[in-house]
Amino acid sequence: MSEKDNQAKEVKDRQQNKQMTDAYYEEKAQNHAEIVSWIASAEKELADLRLRKTLLEDNFSDLLREYRRLIITDAAISTVAKTSLLAYLTYELLQPLKDATLKQTETYNIWQAKYFLIKYQLTDKRELALNFKMNVIDSRFTANFMPLILLDLQEMTATVDESQVLELIRLWYSEKVFSRNQLSLINYDLNRLLANFKQLGFSVAPNLLDNTRALEVNLESEFPLETRILDNIFITTMDSTEYDFDKIGQADYQVKLNQEQKVYIHAKQNRTQLFVDSNSRRRSILDFFTHYPFFVPLIVRD
């Protein structure tokens, strides 16, 4: 073999060796990257498992802290961890209902209590909305979830949607979806929840559900004060020795009830205004209207 051929062979050998070396390091780098990726995935899964373990051990204060850290900030956590956190937190919020066989349904964000279902969901602002679907007295009726209570877990406020409270009254009075006794039991359990919210540190503004305060509330409907409704109130009150009905102005009326309670009625254009005074007697608007149903058509109708 000539010197020229030897040189060519050496060049070829060096190229082959280099290719083998390059392939070796490429494979090594690829394997390294895969292992780093596996470690990262395993560490992420392990961190998620530790978080879920911690959530199982936490009380309400700890769960609230984790909610603010993970949910309000929209942190990257697994779906399982997120749903677990929300489930444990809502159980603490609904805890007074546990004596009424409070349990989760097959739908992960719906709890079942004795008189209603509670569906919880996050709003765009990371507030927690509690929606209630009341049991009906007849299977021919249907009820929808009502957005009744909104919880701000950053500011620690609980807000009752009072339009939904009036809708409950309409469903009872006009649609006959609930019985009077059923509405009373629903009101009792909802007040147990409000009391628990207060105990957990929420600020609960005066509302139409609250039966721990006297009623001194102004209500206004979108309906005119119709003569037939006013006549029915007049007849009802005149038939009872405990009630009295007086016209006290051009478009103003006062109805005196038992226990020195009063209702003032005012006709204003195409609307009706009411002022309910329970004379320091603690009761909710649900309790008031179920005891004096002849006032209901002033506020809600079909």
Check if CATH label 3.30.160 holds for domain 214-301: yes
The C-alpha angle 229, 218, 273, rounded to 5 degrees, equals 35
Among all chains, which residue has been given the structure tokens 């049991």? 135
> Which is it for strands 214-221 and 103-104: parallel, antiparallel or unpaired?
unpaired
Backbone phi and psi for residue 179, each to the nearest 5 degrees, phi listed first: -90, 165
pLDDT at 34: 75
| Residue ranges of the chain whose pLDDT lies below 50 | none
257 half-sphere exposure, CB direction, 13 A CA radius: 17
pLDDT at 276: 97
pLDDT at 106: 92
Distances (CA, A) of 149 to 41, 182, 295: 39, 19, 25
Residues 6+ apart with CB under 8 A from 37: none
What is the residue extent of each domain of the chain?
A: 95-212, 214-301
Query: Nearest to residue 229, comparing CAs of 295, 300, 302?
Result: 295
pLDDT at 39: 60
pLDDT at 269: 83
Among all chains, which residue has been given the structure tokens 């309409």? 170
pLDDT at 22: 66
Dihedral sign from CA coordinates of 216, 220, 225, 226: negative
pTM value is 0.83
Residue type at 271 in one-letter notation = R
